[in-house]
Structure 1
């Protein structure tokens, strides 16, 4: 009997030990990497919920789970949507060590442009060191098919136009909050020109008034995201050095980063210098395009704990002696400081999962003159000294629930502009006199906003509701007497809501359809309210601000179709914008211009009805392991329904095609790019717009990843030396009024050394 009990006890011990081992093996911690299914890129900041544990994937896309039998895993990410995995799937992921997610590009009408690639990353290598070395972010944004730029110079100050929306109709921010206002009345220094590109990781383009988190959005948001700190177990020096040369215009660029990454502190200094001279267009004509730009600064990241970080970014941009042949003056000096500080925190096992706060200040000092302009006869010497100041902050919290998550927060922006133009009369009875014009009238705008964005995930559906409420007030602290005599009240205040509702129906893993409806209201900007008879428009008329303007409203509908397989991605976006109180201008025959050379005065006014419609089609296909292509077609049609004529400055239909190779395990990547712009004959003759002929341009390049730290890129732009100009390129101020033609054939070479 004892023997039977003994043997039974031994068997029971074995069973218990076996069960314990199984339980231990099953419940041990597993590290799982979350990656993009198409590109293999690691995905940081994916929120996960597993049993009672919540958290975010780290910078390498890793999450750590203690496996529990029968427990589902929930993942959510703004670009990848929200997805749930069964307990069996979690076991499989734990064995494989990876989870692959499909990017949901139709979740919001958005485009992500990777600006600051990591050496060796196949996805990011598509965006070469040419991007990091670029001296003007507006020019870089032209790689997005829906974006064109207004060009008043051959090489600097390109002003983005997104689907026909421009200037203050586009919300351009750095790290979701920081803004910069052009001090130059002619926008020689648009906000895009102030971005420190070599410290930017990506540019997120949100089309339409559908994501209202980053400020008052009318036509879309362009959000430049600076690089995140990378903390390492041991203090490690990091650095990068790149240089490039472009033959047409003798353009030399160089940039570098140097710093130390440790377990608690990541500090990096950065700098970039670019210079260029006149270039030759396809007809052999020299185009004034001289520029000099220096950017330097530093970024500090400090890990306060495992869940909290703080960061500080300081950047100084200096531009000197930049030619603007389409404007009455050239840029003499532009000095801009961008400073921001941020705090981020994540919370585990709570509904509140993240809280991010930032404050910023932007100071722009701008000087321009006409001293280098060849003018016959020369009647006046003119110089304008202007400055803008932007201050503000933003605080946003994220709440995660079982099947949805919410962003909620508030932001504040203060913007001011001041400056004077001095005119020294050289001829006539007033020769020797100096006249002073109060250009900006020390105007200011204050914006306070509350916002919320609710993301809801259901089987086969994804919904987003975004809302915003803004209070906008403006005044002129030093009004010009003539300006005061035209208007009875120079102080204005508006309260306006914005709302967007939309979602995506996922029919299967390949096909989805999204519908987005948005209504956004925008108060006029400083120039539209207070510019004091200065020629800042398409024609040489002096523009007069109007504080009596009503806010303009955009009622927009986006329909987004997507078809995706392992090797093919087709995306079609149809949109229409019904615009009310659209801000435009009209000639005032009763007002006399300040300068004799101006044909008259235009006053900003509201157009009761206007309409914009268009589409974007993109087809990406992977033919084989070494060959792929990308095809795009974009078009926007704008119509002033009050005057029954086209809206001004709308780019023509464009076709883009890119053929890409991938050889030697991703080390060698050739590219061939073709772009065709149709003729633009839908023009606003009342604004002095002219038709633009069609053109085709071919570029070619090859990137070579020599080893882990050294890479090179060489290529040729405008391979066939085509003579062409963009529809949004302004005309040179001369007797001929010839448009600013784009550069002819140009060869370039880029070299990079990176230890990041």
Structure 2
């Protein structure tokens, strides 16, 4: 009997020991990467919940957790939705070091994600992006997306993006969700897209329509350029990248580089780029003035404060000089821009609040333009304009991850200031020798204060998204021009309240077919130019524009229908939209106002019209042929109408068809592509603005990329292979001529990239 009791004690002790050892095995700490199987990219900034544990994959796409036998893993991400993984799948991920998560794009808003250039080791062979790293103007990059065009006043610089016919302040363009730049030039030689340091960007997020209210007042669309994230390493690690390219038509050379040092507590990136070019020849052999010089320098420092907190700071300087603008009365002489951004991120593991990010920023633009190099006969005046703009503000956002849903909520503030003076020295007539000073911007200022929230409710076969924003908009001028003030009897301040709301969702109807419906209502206050520009030719025609502080806010009531059919080899998407715009901001000719410059035929004043309409569709078809070949066909169309006058809205791009066939060979080291673009004739024009019809044209491009080693790649190709003579509908006419700004003719290019990151 004593032996039995003693034996029983040993048995119980052994069982407890085995149980504890079993628990210790399952409670071990494991780490694995989150991977997008479609392109091999890391999935960054994904939130996870695992039993009582929660956290974020950070900028390195890695999560760490204490593994157990029974808990499922929930991953939530804006691009991938919220997905559940069983304990068995978690155990397999712990063994392989990877968890593959398929994109749930059919559950999202009408949004496009584009990876610019991944870090090394993530299938570079499938991501030859040297052209994007070297790009000196982000507007040119955006033109590659369906339903996005750009207003071109120069053949080489300052491409101003247009999304589905929405332009200027109707498009919200930001860096890292918060930072923007106001064009110092009243003619927008330097739109905010031209201020993006492209070699520090690793992703572009584009939301078409008023459905992303987190980053500002999204009226017609949002473009968010995301800079390279922080990446800490256990041991000190030094890396770098150097890229260079040359393009024959225009003698365009570009060089960019980045040096990176990381250790356990810090991540330092120093970057720089330089691009220069001369005049180019169009398809007819005509020389187009297109000289430019552009450089940028900067750095980003990240500090790991704790295991759950990070601090980052980025400083960049963009400098452009001697840029030809053949469609404008002046050329860009100097554009000196400074961008500063300070950010803090905190990740939490034991509460519904999983992520809290705060950013402060400041942007300063110093812009000079003149007509000194313009060939004017007779030359009646020498003109030079000095302009300065400032942007500063901040944003804080919290991410709550609940059991079956998640929420983004926060507040932001943005201040925009502009001041500038034009000097006109008279060369002929009774005022010869005199200098006149024009108060262009009137020291105008706009302050925006907003609160926002976005709630995601995913289900087994659907996802719903509710988004809201409320913004207070205050505008004033601190140095009003006397004539401008008399025009409005001295009342130049404006206070508007802008509510915005959107809701939508997608239902998976079958294993391959899904349908989504999105509804948005947003309101946009007029911008600095629309309120306070003071007799300056900034529109489509040569009329001088005068601002109107009494303008009402534009409203956009928009609906998007998204249909998607997807199989293993085929992906077909249709997005049809209609946008009903109230209080549309336009302009009318005022015969009673006299222009400042004799070259202007008259003066236009900004006004509201009752109603306008934007409608259209985007259709895409992607087909995979085996492992090495795929094709993409896209068709986009936008219809714009002034419902008051019945006339077409100005600057609406024509219907466009694009086709690409891409092949990957030699173990994915070689990637070759042929692309075809057909732009249809645009005969829906606004004749009251002097718009002309644009003929149809075809453009064929070829390119090839080869990965010589894991760190060295080459890229070569030819743009406009058939040497087509063409111009875009949104390109302006050359100054003093009815000839439009033609695009470059045939051009060969070559680039070489060394990547040791």
TM-score (norm 1): 0.97
SS in 2 for 1:645: coil
1:418 matches 2:422:
no
Q: Which residue does the alignment assign to 2:83?
A: 83
1:500-579 correspondence runs (5 A): 500-579=502-581
Q: Which residue does the alignment assign to 1:179?
A: 180
| Comparing 590-599 and 523-532, the one that deviates more | 590-599
SS in 1 for 2:105: coil
Say whether the 8 Å CA contact 1:117–1:124 is kept in structure 2: no
Q: Which residue does the alignment assign to 1:374?
A: 375
Say whether the 8 Å CA contact 2:213–2:452 is kept in structure 1: yes
Say whether the 8 Å CA contact 2:56–2:355 is kept in structure 1: no
Shift of the 543–663 alpha-carbon distance from structure 1 to 2, 3 Å rule, reads same
Q: Which residue does the alignment assign to 1:49?
A: 49
CA distance in 2, matches of 1:700, 1:745: 11
Give 1:166 shift. 0.3
| Comparing 63-72 and 151-160, the one that deviates more | 63-72
Q: Which residue does the alignment assign to 1:612?
A: 614
1:109 matches 2:110:
yes
Count of residue pairs the alignment pairs up: 755
Give 1:105 shift. 1.9
Shift of the 426–588 alpha-carbon distance from structure 1 to 2, 3 Å rule, reads same
1:71 matches 2:57:
no
Displaced runs of 4 or more, over 6 A: 1-14
Give 1:459 shift. 2.2
1:32-431 correspondence runs (5 A): 32-106=32-106, 107-119=108-120, 121-122=122-123, 125-431=126-432
1:597-676 correspondence runs (5 A): 597-676=599-678
CA distance in 2, matches of 1:413, 1:327: 30
CA distance in 1, matches of 2:176, 2:689: 36
CA distance in 1, matches of 2:407, 2:23: 37
CA distance in 2, matches of 1:562, 1:195: 33
SS in 2 for 1:533: strand
Deviations 1:62-86 (A, max 9, x none): 3233333332221111110012233
| Comparing 548-557 and 95-104, the one that deviates more | 95-104
Deviations 1:505-545 (A, max 9, x none): 12344322111100010000010001011000000000010
CA distance in 2, matches of 1:477, 1:410: 27
Q: Which residue does the alignment assign to 2:447?
A: 446
CA distance in 2, matches of 1:720, 1:249: 17
Say whether the 8 Å CA contact 2:39–2:126 is kept in structure 1: no
Residue ranges of structure 1 left out of the alignment (5+ in a row): none
Say whether the 8 Å CA contact 1:120–1:705 is kept in structure 2: no
Say whether the 8 Å CA contact 1:117–1:125 is kept in structure 2: no
Shift of the 78–241 alpha-carbon distance from structure 1 to 2, 3 Å rule, reads same
CA distance in 2, matches of 1:122, 1:637: 40
Deviations 1:422-453 (A, max 9, x none): 11111111111111111111111111111111
Deviations 1:545-604 (A, max 9, x none): 011100000001011112222332222111110000010111111111111111111111
Say whether the 8 Å CA contact 1:183–1:364 is kept in structure 2: yes
Say whether the 8 Å CA contact 2:59–2:230 is kept in structure 1: no
Give 1:116 shift. 2.7
SS in 1 for 2:193: helix
Say whether the 8 Å CA contact 2:534–2:547 is kept in structure 1: yes
Q: Which residue does the alignment assign to 2:437?
A: 436
Shift of the 252–92 alpha-carbon distance from structure 1 to 2, 3 Å rule, reads closer
Give 1:5 shift. 7.5
| Comparing 20-29 and 478-487, the one that deviates more | 20-29
Say whether the 8 Å CA contact 2:120–2:756 is kept in structure 1: no
Give 1:663 shift. 1.1
SS in 1 for 2:26: helix
Say whether the 8 Å CA contact 1:117–1:127 is kept in structure 2: no
Deviations 1:274-312 (A, max 9, x none): 000000000000000000001101111111011111111
Q: Which residue does the alignment assign to 1:596?
A: 598
SS in 1 for 2:601: coil
| Comparing 642-651 and 423-432, the one that deviates more | 423-432
Q: 2:720 aligns with which of 709, 718, 723?
A: 718
Give 1:351 shift. 1.6
Say whether the 8 Å CA contact 1:240–1:755 is kept in structure 2: yes
Give 1:35 shift. 1.5
Give 1:401 shift. 1.2
SS in 1 for 2:249: coil
Shift of the 266–87 alpha-carbon distance from structure 1 to 2, 3 Å rule, reads closer
CA distance in 2, matches of 1:496, 1:704: 50
Give 1:92 shift. 4.6
Shift of the 121–65 alpha-carbon distance from structure 1 to 2, 3 Å rule, reads closer
| Comparing 533-542 and 611-620, the one that deviates more | 611-620
Shift of the 308–508 alpha-carbon distance from structure 1 to 2, 3 Å rule, reads farther
TM-score (norm 2): 0.97
Give 1:621 shift. 2.1
CA distance in 2, matches of 1:572, 1:519: 22
Residue ranges of structure 2 left out of the alignment (5+ in a row): none
Shift of the 118–629 alpha-carbon distance from structure 1 to 2, 3 Å rule, reads farther
Give 1:20 shift. 4.7
Give 1:234 shift. 1.4
Give 1:37 shift. 3.0
Say whether the 8 Å CA contact 1:469–1:497 is kept in structure 2: yes
SS in 2 for 1:528: helix
SS in 2 for 1:132: helix
CA distance in 2, matches of 1:25, 1:308: 29
| Comparing 630-639 and 62-71, the one that deviates more | 62-71
Give 1:99 shift. 2.6
| Comparing 79-88 and 496-505, the one that deviates more | 79-88
1:495 matches 2:494:
no
SS in 2 for 1:350: coil
Give 1:29 shift. 3.2
SS in 1 for 2:133: helix
| Comparing 633-642 and 66-75, the one that deviates more | 66-75
